[in-house]
Structure 1
Amino acid sequence: MRKNTIALCIALLCLAVTACTHVNDPAPGIKKTIVLAPLNNPYETNVGIYNGADASNHVSPEEPLCAWTIGGLPITVRNLLKFDISKIPATGSIVSARLILYADTIPLNGDLVHANYGTDNSIVIQQVAETWNTATVTWFNQPGALSANQVTIPNTFQPFGNLDVDVKDMVSAMVSSGNNYGFKLSLRNEVIYTSRIFCSSYYPDTSRRPKLMITYK
């Protein structure tokens, strides 16, 4: 009987130690991944200027980051793109965030043949700094952008090419601050006859719409 009592005490002591160890160990973070790829994204628009007049297009099938001419007159176009990241808690830690863009292989802008054109068609992706409204935004009232955490995509001589861009720092800033105004995309040097043309969320082939893939914990 005494031996059984001692054995029981030892067993209970082992369970207590195990329990204490389990409580003191930090619980590992559970990673979650979301893929945001809305069709006809209401928070996506081109802002453009054509010969001094606004040429913005809120439902364009393309994101034509370009400086070109139409009928010999200059046109410059940038893009604003926002995704709904409200499901990510403010305390969430961003593990990775990637913005995926697909080149338009049948471009409606630029030289109408190549998505990528020009001696320096590098582009800049920035975090938008202030609120904007798709229905009313124009070239002349387009929101400003932040240089902090911006990403520069180098020039390419390939006529087409999809992008998979690391935007972790920008998304982290959006989540932690609670201010998600989206991304601003533009040519680094807006010099005539330069283009990088991507499919928008209004593109006929819905598999080529812009995507934001976020992993957080």
Structure 2
Amino acid sequence: MSWKASLSRHLPVVRFFCCPKSPASRGVFSFYKNNYEELKMLNPTMPLLLRCADNAMPAITTELSFTNSHLLKYMLQKNKFKNPDGSPNEERKAAAHKMLGLLGDAKLREEFETVRWNSPGFDPQRPFLDEEFPDWKKDPKISKDLSRYIEILDEIDSTWNTVTSGPDQEWTRAENSLLMCQRVDLWCAGEAEVEAALKHLLNLGKECNNLVPDLPEYITEYYPGADDL
């Protein structure tokens, strides 16, 4: 029961897809019917949606907040950085490792946010700055004040451009592939397989989502229970 009670802390929604007439969807439909009341009682604010349609592929889906770090790790694990002939591209792999280091460096991130304000009265992250003042990096005073900021920014941009420079829309295809991890197809699966798939999505939610609510210091409203129980 413990894992069921933690669903709403890591997943914003769970959708069950099935065909009411197909034996291949029987596991998904049975799991939803047999576990809905318990899941709803333990997670009253989380939508548990059943979507039925003729010939629908049985599956469960959720929503995961993937970051660039998740995508980079995924591409490295799945060897997605390849040359047109299918051989591994070491340059982009090295750039991906470097980018992960830059994204995970708390000290560098803190320094980047600090040196951002080294030029009084000027914010290099101001909205529409590149349209209004495209040559701000060439300004002698600004470029001197923000030399460290520009150095870090150029390094990040250069590394990022290398990572995303793969052929055949390599980066976009990897993004789409990672997004498919939000869905688990369950053709002819039994209830045990559906439960395992839900646990799998929960583990991904623990890694990618941060949905723990900020609870009030005292009770302000009282709800007797969900209407559909």
Which TM-score band applies after superposition, normalised by the shorter structure? Answer: under 0.3
**Larger helix proportion of the pair:** 2
**Larger strand proportion of the pair:** 1
TM-score relative to the length of structure 1: 0.22
Which has the larger Rg? 1
